Amino acid sequence: MSSPKFFSIRELQRQDVALMNAMMVMFADSFGDADTYTSALPGKNYLERLLGSKHFIALVALAGKTVVGGLTAYELQKYEQERSEIYIYDLAVAADCRRQGIATALMSQLKAIAVSRGVYVIFVQADLPDTPARSLYAKLGRCTEVLHFDIEVAQD
């Protein structure tokens, strides 16, 4: 018999700014990148607008009231056909809660959202050294090898 599920998945709404901030702290810890995720947290009004946008998706895994996992994604409307795609921007699970089905549950909820919106496909990038992420994504979909380029934006 499998162990009981100790977490729930919740899609964040406009009023869930505190949970969004808690997810960013969890991302900072999970990715070892406090500079990106917590050094300049957006204000309440910004996050309310983002969470209220129909093109931004934020999911949290909660153990009680504690954020133990999270996923952020963007729905991108395509121009070549009347359809959209979802791009997973971040997905992480707290270190002490990994290997318990949380990431898979977050992905399952995202797939349900995609179906309800009539989305064509979900896509994500994974760094070559990130074996756990690549394993997760490989069991859920197929891999297409591409190159990723960061293009600096000139600051005047």
Under a CB-based contact definition with an 8 Å cutoff, are residues 58 and 20 in contact?
yes
Average pLDDT over residues 23-49: 95
- What pLDDT does 2 receive? 39
pLDDT, tens digit (0-9, with 9 covering 90-100), for 47-77? 999 999 999 999 999 999 999 999 999 999 9
124 band by pLDDT with thresholds 50, 70 and 90? confident
Domain 8-140 has CATH 3.40.630.30: yes
> What pTM, to 2 d.p., does this model score?
0.83
Quote the pLDDT of residue 155.
74
Confidence of residue 123 (pLDDT cuts 50, 70, 90): confident
In the chain, domain spans: 8-140
Q: Is the pLDDT of residue 147 over 60?
A: no
pLDDT of residue 154: 76
Report which of 33, 93, 91, 35 is spatially closest to residue 62, judged by C-alpha positions.
93
Residue 135 is predicted with a pLDDT of 63
Give the model's confidence band at 156: pLDDT under 50 very low, under 70 low, under 90 confident, else very high. low
Residue 81 has pLDDT above 70, yes or no: yes
CA 98, chain centre distance (Å): 15
- pLDDT tens digits along 83-107: 999 999 999 999 999 989 999 999 9
Task: Quote the CA–CA distance of 122 and 42 in Å, as a whole number.
Answer: 26
Residue 91: how many other CB atoms lie within 10 Å: 23
The mean of the pLDDT values for the chain is 86
